[in-house]
Chain A
Amino acid sequence: MRLVLKNAKKYNEETLSNIYIEDGKFANEFAEDTADRVIDLKGATVTPGLVDMHCHLREPGGEYKETIKTGTASAAKGGYTSICCMPNTNPVADNAAVISGIMKKAEEAGNCRVYPIGAATKNIEGDQISEMGLMKDAGIVAVSDDGRPIKNAGIMRKVLEYASDFDIPVLNHCEDKSLAEGAMNEGPISTTIGIRGIPTAAEDIMISRDIILSEYLDIPVHICHVSTKGGVRMIRDAKARGVKVTAETCPHYFTLTDACCENYDTNFKMHPPLRTQEHVDAIIEGLKDGTIDTIATDNAPHHEDEKVCEFSVALNGILGFETAFALGYTYLVKTGVITLEKLVDLMCFAPSKILKLGRGGMEVGDDADLAVFNTSDEFTFDKNTLLSKSRNTPYDGWKLYGETLLTIMGGKVTYEKLC
């Protein structure tokens, strides 16, 4: 299979060029008339295929929300070619058999490279260390208990130590659950609408604990979806001291505030919760100065029945794949906060480096993973166009820049809107 992409505007180049792909790899120039397919990109923006180090595909156990097939199709539509799925499935992905099953389904779907994240403790109960070594053999790239953070500092220490024997990164969702019994950010809005609040302190306390453990043990730790000003400050200070801490945030933490919850719209309900503008500003500053390494989606499909209900009853989380790049481009690049090159680093190179995936190369011989975006024209995001099985997005009707036109993974077209 030989493919030519004409008139490509690579994210880091000023002029247009052609991209040649042969047998799944980027290739040297060859004669156009020998190609199986020639696509004229007409100057659209080309980036390496995006990498998401934090998402939920729901299979096994949650197929009514999403399957690996639909989830990876949704990821491809967002320009992703590599994604890492969290282990909070049913059964929990805490053993090699479940991991192998996920990888097999992903392979069959063929939409996206799927790198599973294994549970850090058995059945994500925060009690006993999981079979990390066996899971690594089966294909995991990290361990995490995600939504059920390891609350016991002693267990967290053992997880960090044991994982480091296998060179497995540990990702922690930082939230002290004893302070986080609410359903939205604690503040004037939660008080006004009578919803129990989750203080920023709940997140900050666990971030500080994990930084302290990482520093003490000299073992890396990755902080999932940072949403607070205090978290950004502590991570910035820790990095300056040389602590091996890395961090991610998600598009909703730099585009939305807790004021969105005022009408009890459950599409604005997630963990950690949306914060106030002060925290949004701090997140943007952290993205700008490199404190936050990567933008992940925390893509979290939920069925309509789990979202069309009372606010406190609704499940946490929103879809993210199909809006992440456009939100990053519209709210960070177009506003002049960061360059497109920096956005590509945040959404591709950095997560690839943290998890040692070796993704993002566009040199001859590298796997042909790329995405093409229309960064010049505005589009209206419509939830009915989602490829996900679910519809839980807060961005329906938003006007954005950066619609995906084409995604190629290993030389294969996994999404296209061009022709």
Chain B
Amino acid sequence: MGLKSKDLLGMKQLTADEIMEILDTAKTMKLVISSANKKTSHLQGKSVVTLFYENSTRTRLSFELASKYMGSASANISTSGSSVKKGESLLDTARTIDMMGTDIIIMRHNQSGAPHFIAPYLKSSVVNAGDGMNEHPTQALLDMLTMYERFDTFEGKKIAICGDIYHSRVVRSNAIGLTKLGAQVSVYGPKTMMPIGIENLGVRIADSVADCVKDADAVMGLRVQLERQQKSLFPSIAEYAKFYAITPEMLALAKPDAFLMHPGPCNHGVELPTAVYDCDQSVINEQVTNGVAVRMAVLYLLMARRNQL
């Protein structure tokens, strides 16, 4: 067992067995997070660097805490205050970090394929913390962990994802990961936010929010990513909220024990009314905890692979 690749670039590159191993490992890691003494020695003497070309609160912090809970030396680079601003190429920056004895580079970048581009040039393991509109594998893994804690199996489970499908790397990673484990994923959003050929990821394109969430085991809202939109893709927030949001009425169409997820940060009153965000079915806050657990599992498994070599 263990991970086959030096890097975690996306759910596309993981097998079903690898995904399950990460989730099982994450369940164990969650015990560490909830314990009084949040400290393991799995990454002792190792170094982890986060290299973020885009803003992030929860992803970045959860990676940092994950590495610190496991005892690694960690450092952070953001686009401001580094030579990135001086016009250094991504590859030069990545190689520079690599040559400082770094074991794992966690990168978020606004260009799809950026981690895939640098990984072959580096000795360090590269973890994709979100690349453009392509993938956000650790988000999908934490979403899947949240489901896995409630499902005995993913087989046949219905997952509804509503919102800005076009710009969402979260959708791509979830669709790929969930279908690999046998879940049925339905997606829906305004047609201006639906990418051509999304069904090739194995998902069903629903006709409406109602059709998407009907009889779902889990419902996921997506943030309307205003910063990634080049042009107006919907006329107003009021109209979006009326026709595309997951309202209490819509959520009632899902299975009675269905739960609501959102990758955050949420635009309250746009994709989710606050009442839904805070409802009993919402597991949004738990997703955050699971984010740390999954990232600990990923770092642990990548380091285990490095130690074997």
Contact = CB atoms under 8 A, between A and B. Distances in A.
- By secondary structure, the A interface counts as loop
Counting chain A residues whose Cβ lies within 8 A of the other chain, the interface size class is 20 to 34
A181 B12 CA distance: 26
A4 to B, nearest CB: 52
Contacts of A189: 197
A392 B300 CA distance: 39
Interface in B171-210: 172, 195-198, 200-201
Interface in A175-197: 181, 186-197
A209 to B, nearest CB: 22
B233 to A, nearest CB: 13
B111 A313 contact: yes
Interface in B111-151: 111-114, 116-117, 131-135
Contact of A264 (B113, B135, B169): B113
A153 interface: no
B283 interface: no
Interface string A287-307: 000000000000000000100
A193 B134 contact: yes
Interface in A189-227: 189-197, 199
A263 interface: yes
B112 A194 contact: yes
Interface in B64-101: 89-91
Nearest to B118: A310
Which of B112, B113, B131 is packed against the most chain A CB atoms within 10 Å? B113
Interface residues of B, number: 25
Nearest to B113: A264
B117 A310 contact: yes
A188 B112 contact: no
Which of A187, A192, A310, A311 is packed against the most chain B CB atoms within 10 Å? A310
Contacts of A311: 111-113, 117
Contact of A263 (B90, B116, B169, B230): B116
B112 A195 contact: yes
A308 interface: yes
Interface string B150-184: 00000000000000000001001000000000000
Given A197-B196, A309-B91, A310-B117, A192 B172 contact: yes
A6 to B, nearest CB: 50
A194 B198 contact: no
A312 interface: yes
Nearest to B114: A310
Given A191-B201, A308-B91, A264 B116 contact: yes
B108 interface: no
Given A305-B89, A310-B90, A192 B113 contact: no
A195 B110 CA distance: 11
Which of A191, A195, A197 is packed against the most chain B CB atoms within 10 Å? A191
A324 B240 CA distance: 51
5 contacts: A181-B230, A189-B197, A194-B112, A195-B134, A312-B113
Interface of B: 12, 89-91, 109, 111-114, 116-117, 131-135, 169, 172, 195-198, 200-201, 230
